[in-house]
Amino acid sequence: MTIERGSGVEPSPGLQLLLERLWRQEITHEHVLAELFSHTDLARVLGLWSGESRPRLVIEPDRGIFDLALLDDAGSAVLYLELKFAAASGWDQRRRQRAFAEAAGAGRAYILLGTSFFEIDREPGVRYVGVPELLAGLATTVADGALGELQAAYAERVERDAAVWSGEHDPTSASHVAILRLYQAIADAWPVDVHPYRATNPGGPDWILNGDAWTTLPLTGWEHARFYWEIAGGRVRFKVHWDGPEGDRRRARDTYERAILEAGRAVGVQVERTRRVSGRYMSAAQLPYVVRDYVVVDGAVSSERARCLYDEATTIFQAALERVPPLVVT
């Protein structure tokens, strides 16, 4: 998308340089968007505001539980807004934010910049604005004078980011952007609404796409376990989250491993063991292929293969759960 400059306003080189230097700091976006929401129709264009008059803005309200608050003429919060730049938002933070907003009778929204668009799970009833949507909103927002220069400089910089997420890309590239886009393209073919995210592990960063199959079993010994599968380390892995006694971790993992291997043989799909590592989140088995090699056909993600991967993993997962026996714990 190419930005049409409102009223012929062009950004000054000095302002462009300043934004470039401060671009990765969330506080930069807080102040710029606060100005644009207060003095233009950008909040309305983005679906964040429906009042007759423009909102009043508070930056980092209530000790910073959110980045911005949009207030009505009476000073009541109508919407709380969180900005994320190339960072995930943990469930603990979002639970606190949800409780706070509900207590105030206000809505919630998230503006997701950089890789954050791919890293945050969606909740019903919450508005999410990604870089392409923000760019589209800026393209239809007109401002003049100093505010027009700010809007033009900000829009120009957002436009550069949008090209990274919506332009052509190589799904075989090892760059973090390419991997996130690869995983999102895979997720788009699945029947569940999931998004990839970046995890920091002792061995370095990894990119995760969880199949949203978290399951508990009403079996003796498994009261502290949740079973799931996800793409991690480039493979489809069947895992268990063990929150029981530490001394029973290995026994729980190995019991689940046997159930998965039996399930693979029963449904006619090859499954292989993973390294026996003991922890709270443990891989028990995996499908034998590298996900990217399986889903990329002729330089693009095959929706058919991506859905086949999901169906195959789900079939094995469900068959394995049927074969998990009660667990003797210490």
- Across all residues in the chain, what is the average pLDDT? 90
Q: Higher confidence at residue 262 or residue 175?
A: 262
The reported pLDDT for the residue numbered 174 is 74
The reported pLDDT for the residue numbered 263 is 97
Phi-psi region of 235 (alpha: psi -120 to 50; beta: other; left: phi over 0): beta
Q: How confident is the model at residue 111 (pLDDT cuts 50, 70, 90)?
A: very high
Q: CB atoms < 10 A from the CB of 269, how many?
A: 15
Contact status, residue 55 vs residue 75, Cβ threshold 8 Å: no
* % of the chain exceeding 90 in pLDDT: 69
Q: How confident is the model at residue 89 (pLDDT cuts 50, 70, 90)?
A: low
Q: How confident is the model at residue 108 (pLDDT cuts 50, 70, 90)?
A: very high
The reported pLDDT for the residue numbered 161 is 81
How large is the C-alpha radius of gyration of the chain? Answer: 23
**CA distances to 37, 147, 325 from 40, in Å:** 6, 9, 62
The reported pLDDT for the residue numbered 6 is 47
> Can you read off the two tokens belonging to residue 294?
């399986």
pLDDT in tens, 181-227: 899 999 999 999 888 887 777 777 788 999 999 999 999 999 999 99
Q: Which residues does residue 81 pair with via DSSP β-bridges, in sequence order?
A: 68, 109
When pLDDT is averaged across residues 273-287 and rounded to a whole number, the result is 91
Specify the DSSP element, H or E, that contains 177: helix 176-188
When pLDDT is averaged across residues 250-272 and rounded to a whole number, the result is 96
Four-residue CA torsion sign, 141, 130, 181, 66: positive
Specify the DSSP element, H or E, that contains 68: strand 68-71
pLDDT in tens, 17-68: 999 999 989 999 999 999 999 999 999 999 999 999 999 999 999 888 999 9
**CA distances to 38, 57, 151, 223, 260 from 53, in Å:** 10, 12, 20, 53, 59
Q: Higher confidence at residue 324 or residue 177?
A: 324
pLDDT at 5 over 90: no
The reported pLDDT for the residue numbered 8 is 61
Residue with structure tokens 């003049």?
Answer: 144
The reported pLDDT for the residue numbered 9 is 75
